[in-house]
């Protein structure tokens, strides 16, 4: 066996420091490094998954924004347990994050909403996200109505358009290695306690 395969190359320590390193590497290598799969479930266990964009991260959690009336928004409000999965193909790396989700405060949601392009703000106002739509023309018409309504003035954030912060209880780093002898390092903690970590079989 290649001697290099015997050695762990994912360091232990602080998972947030390791996330920062991998996230920076991904931004240097991938066009959509902040795209992440978000998995949610209803209270009775029906799962669903979709891609969202990471808009903030740090020791307090991982932040994304959405319409709370959408399927994912409704599921998060009813069952605030969720998972995130980053997959960076060019780096052959994955990060899985599991935890509890909390809605961000109104000021934080306002700040991010008004940092978006104006057309994105108008689209958020016009969209009944995840509801059935009879035609593309109906949606574009609603966007144009919103544009006419607000003119050059500020577009107010709809109260149901908000952000969520996933506070992690587990973070796993996965690295592709030859012959499927992959490496997985798993971090876990209870509440605000210290992180423990271990390797997992691939």
Q: Where are the domains of the chain?
A: 3-115+160-200
CATH class (in words) of the domain with range 3-115+160-200 = mainly beta
What is the band of 81 on the pLDDT scale with cuts at 50, 70, 90?
very high
- Using the predicted structure, report yes or no on whether residue 16 has a pLDDT greater than 90: yes
pTM: 0.92
Rounded to 5°, angle at Cα 183 from 181 and 180: 25
Tokens 């994955």 sit on residue: 94
Candidate list 96, 169, 180, 189, residue with the active-site label? 180
180 catalytic per annotation: yes
Tokens 């420091």 sit on residue: 17
- Using the predicted structure, report yes or no on whether residue 61 has a pLDDT greater than 90: yes
What are the start-end ranges of the E strands in 61-182?
A: 61-67, 81-88, 93-103, 161-175
- Using the predicted structure, report yes or no on whether residue 107 has a pLDDT greater than 80: yes
What share of the chain has pLDDT > 70, as a percent? 100
């Amino acid at each position: 066996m290649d001697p290099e395969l015997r050695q762990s190359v994912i360091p232990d320590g602080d998972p947030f420091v390791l996330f920062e390193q991998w996230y920076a590497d991904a931004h240097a290598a991938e066009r959509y490094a902040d795209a992440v799969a978000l998995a949610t479930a209803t209270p009775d266990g029906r799962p669903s998954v979709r891609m969202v964009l990471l808009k903030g991260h740090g020791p307090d959690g991982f932040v994304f924004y959405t319409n709370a009336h959408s399927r994912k928004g409704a599921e998060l409000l009813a069952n605030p347990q969720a998972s995130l999965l980053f997959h960076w193909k060019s780096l052959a790396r994955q990060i899985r994050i599991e935890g509890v989700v909390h809605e961000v405060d109104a000021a934080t949601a306002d700040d991010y909403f008004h940092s978006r392009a104006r057309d994105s703000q108008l689209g958020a106002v016009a969209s009944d996200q995840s509801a059935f739509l009879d035609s593309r023309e109906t949606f574009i018409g609603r966007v144009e109505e919103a544009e006419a309504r607000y003119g050059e003035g500020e577009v107010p954030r709809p109260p149901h358009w908000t952000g969520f912060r996933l506070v992690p209880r587990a973070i796993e780093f996965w690295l592709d290695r030859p012959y499927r002898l992959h490496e997985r390092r798993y971090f876990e903690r209870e509440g605000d306690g210290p992180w423990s970590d271990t390797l997992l079989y691939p």
